Structure 1
């Protein structure tokens, strides 16, 4: 399996000195292309800091982060922004949709930032919304949709230009159980289609649906296992 993500001896320290907080403490991690990984930890475990590293939203105090073999750990903000646009699709707990835009327009927006032409981005957005079962909701705004439908729009936005990594931060955290099952089914289908999916969660039930489970606590990886109970949908 080809390496996609490689983190080497990464530390993230806040408030250096007497009151320092080691959010990440000498973390080493490799994730290959086409994996379905859950990173699980409680509040304060370091999982959100690790997510920010993986998503090029933050840089380590020390250590290295390689993405596709390129060291992205100390890039400038503009360089990291470019990496995020090209390499990573984000799915957030809070959906992060723009309320004044339709589902179609929300999915198209990142494509505009990437310089995709009008016809092509309409084609990509249309295909992405179809793939998550929102054929009849393309002209609806977020306040006209359920939480599960809004999260499906967010997934369509994340996958529209087929980024190598999908990074899902508590993707079912704001959803009821039925909607959660629906969203996880879509995420597992995307994995089955060959995408690399990394789920950040505090919920053991969500983590148990991943093929590989990484547990983090006190800024350190406590366990990294292949899920013996993993089942393909």
Structure 2
């Protein structure tokens, strides 16, 4: 397997000097194409800062981050924005759906920014909503759907353009246990289908659903364990 994500000796320091906070303290890790990885840590552990680095939402104070072989730390803001748009599908705890758009319109919206033509855009959005079991809800607005259904629309939006990396930040945080199971099952299916899935969580039970668990504490990687799981 080839490396998709490569982090080398990354530090993120806030308030440099006497009262500095090291949110990330010399972190190094490699995630290969097609892995299903959970990054787990409690509030203040550095996991959210690490997610922001992996998602090109922030840059390290020092160290290197390579995504698909590109040195992200050397890119301009516009180039980082392009990478976020083309290479990463984001799933957040808050669904971030636009309330006056239907499910299919919410999924199509990022494809418009990518310059995808109308017919192709529609096809990709329908396919993505089918994949998450919402082909019967294409024309429903968020307020006509449950929380679990809204999160499935958000997943469809993240995967419609087939980005190589799916970055899911506490994707079950606002959901009941039944909806959480559905969302985790979809993430497993994406992994089985060849996507690279990176799941950020504070919950041991959620992290245990992945194939590999990286535990972070006080800005450092505490453990990195591969689990014996069969999703086939």
Fold match by TM threshold 0.5 = yes
Question: Aligned partners of 2:101, 2:14: CA distance in 1, in Å?
Answer: 37
Match of 1:74 in 2: 74
1:9 corresponds to 2:9:
yes
Match of 1:33 in 2: 33
How many residue pairs match? The answer is 232
Match of 2:86 in 1: 86
Question: Aligned partners of 2:84, 2:215: CA distance in 1, in Å?
Answer: 25
Does the residue aligned with 1:73 lie in a helix, a strand or coil? helix
Contact 1:59–1:74 (CA<8 Å) still a contact in 2? no
Does the residue aligned with 2:51 lie in a helix, a strand or coil? helix
Contact 1:5–1:67 (CA<8 Å) still a contact in 2? yes
- Displacement of 1:74 in angstroms is 3.1
Does the residue aligned with 1:136 lie in a helix, a strand or coil? helix
Gaps of 5+ in 1: none
1:232 corresponds to 2:231:
yes
- Displacement of 1:36 in angstroms is 0.2
Match of 1:208 in 2: 208
Pairwise mapping of residues 108-123 of structure 1 onto structure 2 (< 5 A)? 108-123=108-123
Match of 2:148 in 1: 148
Match of 1:172 in 2: 172
**Large movers: runs of 4+ above 6 Å:** none
Question: Aligned partners of 1:105, 1:200: CA distance in 2, in Å?
Answer: 27
- Displacement of 1:227 in angstroms is 1.2
TM-score (structure 2 length as normaliser): 0.99
Question: Aligned partners of 1:70, 1:184: CA distance in 2, in Å?
Answer: 30
Question: Aligned partners of 2:93, 2:188: CA distance in 1, in Å?
Answer: 17
Q: CA RMSD in A?
A: 0.8
Does the residue aligned with 2:135 lie in a helix, a strand or coil? coil
Does the residue aligned with 1:178 lie in a helix, a strand or coil? helix
TM-score (structure 1 length as normaliser): 0.98
Question: Aligned partners of 1:74, 1:27: CA distance in 2, in Å?
Answer: 18
Contact 1:124–1:161 (CA<8 Å) still a contact in 2? yes
Contact 1:209–1:231 (CA<8 Å) still a contact in 2? no
- Displacement of 1:76 in angstroms is 1.5
Gaps of 5+ in 2: none
Question: Aligned partners of 1:231, 1:120: CA distance in 2, in Å?
Answer: 34
Question: Aligned partners of 2:54, 2:8: CA distance in 1, in Å?
Answer: 12
Deviation sequence 1:70-111 (CA, Å, 0-9, x none): 100132211100001110000000011111110000000000
- Displacement of 1:231 in angstroms is 3.8
Question: Aligned partners of 2:65, 2:142: CA distance in 1, in Å?
Answer: 36
Question: Aligned partners of 1:184, 1:27: CA distance in 2, in Å?
Answer: 27
